[in-house]
A = this chain, B = another copy of it.
Amino acid sequence: MDSSTCLAIASREGYECHTLAFDYDQRHKEELEMAAHQSRTFSASDHRVVRVDLACIGGSALTSSIEVPKDEVPDSIPVTYVPARNLVFLSIGLALAEVIAAQDLFIGANQVDYSGYPDCRRPFIESFETVANLATRMGAQGTRIRVHAPLLDLNKAQIVKKGLELGVDFKNTHTCYDPSDSGTACGRCPACRLRLKGFAEAGISDPISYQK
């Protein structure tokens, strides 16, 4: 939901988009197919799937044998937190930006509903922008790299509305952390719960199927 809406925003703002998805041995590889689909829908110039072996690092329910919790959205940082994930993803995004001479990075991070993730907060995003300008040839040569997180202050209901307004078909988005073998969302993990709450608050019916 978040990445697709973020792409829709960048596209609407007139940016030529180059999309990146990450295969990091996550449980929910369904999102990779959806990412490629959304990239085509919003006419991105190209789409890459970058393999990063975060399973070899472990430490998260999304990349190790730790079980995905099913009962609640936790108050503290959850076991589904993947250590330093957004930093790793943004860093690789920055590498691509440098190769294609892009100076704007977009990320669908969102600090409202899930403030337990430290790498979804504004200070992180701002600090990444600083390091991005110091880490690269582009930055060293005076190009100002900007990191955009247009969903940072939206709640899930607002993201649903914004996405629909910009033409996102949420049927082709994947949110569940622990889908069935056939890819059907569980409806009970923290990510599903936040998604469902967002659609409910927006007064819109979620177009995807859930396990009974």
Q: Which residues of A contact B (CB under 8 A)?
A: 48-54, 56-59, 77, 81-88, 91-92, 94-96, 98-99, 118-119, 121, 123-124, 127-128, 130-132, 134-137, 139-140
Contact = CB atoms under 8 A, between A and B. Distances in A.
Nearest to A92: B88
A33 B111 CA distance: 42
A211 B87 CA distance: 40
A111 B15 CA distance: 35
> How many copies of this protein are present in the complex?
2
B118 A123 contact: no
Contacts of A123: 134
A162 to B, nearest CB: 26
Nearest to A53: B51
A159 to B, nearest CB: 22
Contacts of A53: 50-52
A84 B119 contact: no
B56 A50 contact: yes
A182 B140 CA distance: 37
A88 B131 CA distance: 12
Contact of A127 (B58, B99, B130): B130
Contacts of A135: 84, 86-87, 118-119, 124, 127-128
A88 B86 contact: no
B83 A87 contact: no
A53 B48 CA distance: 11
Contacts of A48: 56-57
Contact of A137 (B83, B130, B132): B83
Given A50-B57, A118-B135, A119-B136, A91 B84 contact: yes
A123 B140 CA distance: 11
A83 B91 CA distance: 9
A81 B137 contact: yes
B140 A134 contact: no
A95 B84 contact: yes
